[in-house]
Amino acid sequence: MDVNNTAKRPTILASIGRRRAALILLCLATLAGCQGVPYRGAEDQARINTDLKLGATPSQFIPLRWAYSDYGIQSGTQTKDAVAVVQPGRVTLVGYEGGHYVSQASFPVASVDCAYIFESEGSDRPVWLLQKERFVFLSPSDHRGNGDMARRVQLVKELGNSGFKLQRDAQGPAYRPTGKSERKLVLNTVVGHHMEEVAENQAYNVCRPQ
């Protein structure tokens, strides 16, 4: 046995451990940096009103992540940060570019067949805005998929108050199982990353006659 190499092993392991810790911190910092929509309450609400020329219309401001998605077999969804501004008859998704708030997308009630509510209103699951050709994925959650139940409850309430038709699971789901499944690496907020058998689903517009 090489005594010198044996003596060096703890030092090497410690060095690897430090590098791994540094990598984790870098990843966390990168994720934090990706949250590119500064929002801290009343001051930023005023700036959003000014930049988007919303006027004096009462609005609700709800930080979330969103994406467009096509109907059909569902896989991973690449989302981006926004602040949902809910006004009577409309929801606008607001981003931040060049020091100013900008509209990423805006959805009047007439362009949405219904807002699909996964599970109960007290859940932290996503909300889908079902349109004719595609749906809009809204998730009051962070980059790790941790849902914020209070924001989700507020989002559902404000969409209903704004005039959007709400469709709940009990009224009919917006997805059908295909009967297939596969093992995927998923993130659970309690036990961390683990392999799980995930059923394959096909999304469709439950609020539009098929």
pLDDT digits (tens, 9 = 90+) for 86-126: 999 999 999 999 999 999 999 999 999 999 999 877 888 89
Please report the pLDDT score of residue 157 as a whole number: 95
Maximum average pLDDT range among 35-39, 145-149, 182-186, 195-199 = 145-149
181: closest CA among 168, 193, 195?
195
Please report the pLDDT score of residue 184 as a whole number: 67
DSSP assignment string, 113-124:
SEEEE-S-TTS-
Per-residue pLDDT band for 83 (boundaries 50, 70, 90) equals very high
- Kindly indicate whether the domain formed by 42-173 is annotated with CATH number 3.40.50.9100: no
Instruction: Report the range of poorest mean pLDDT among 37-46, 169-178, 190-199.
Output: 190-199
Q: CB of 138 within 8 A of CB of 84?
A: yes
Q: Tell me which long-range contacts 36-44 makes (C-beta under 8 A, separation of at least 24).
A: 36/81, 36/95, 36/96, 37/63, 37/81, 37/82, 37/83, 37/94, 37/95, 37/96, 38/96, 39/63, 39/83, 44/83, 44/101
- Mean pLDDT, residues 169-175: 91
Here the tokens at position 61 are 């401001």
Does residue 75 have a pLDDT over 60? yes
Does residue 187 have a pLDDT over 70? no
Please report the pLDDT score of residue 41 as a whole number: 86
Please report the pLDDT score of residue 32 as a whole number: 35
User: What is the identity of the amino acid at 171?
Assistant: Q
Does residue 190 have a pLDDT over 60? no
Please report the pLDDT score of residue 162 as a whole number: 95
Question: pLDDT higher for 31 or 204?
Answer: 204
Q: Which residues pair with 139 in a beta bridge?
A: 65
Cα end-to-end distance, the chain, whole Å: 73
For 21, the enclosing helix (H) or strand (E) is helix 3-34
pLDDT digits (tens, 9 = 90+) for 5-39: 444 444 433 443 443 333 333 333 333 333 569 89
% of the chain with per-residue pLDDT over 90? 51
Please report the pLDDT score of residue 119 as a whole number: 85
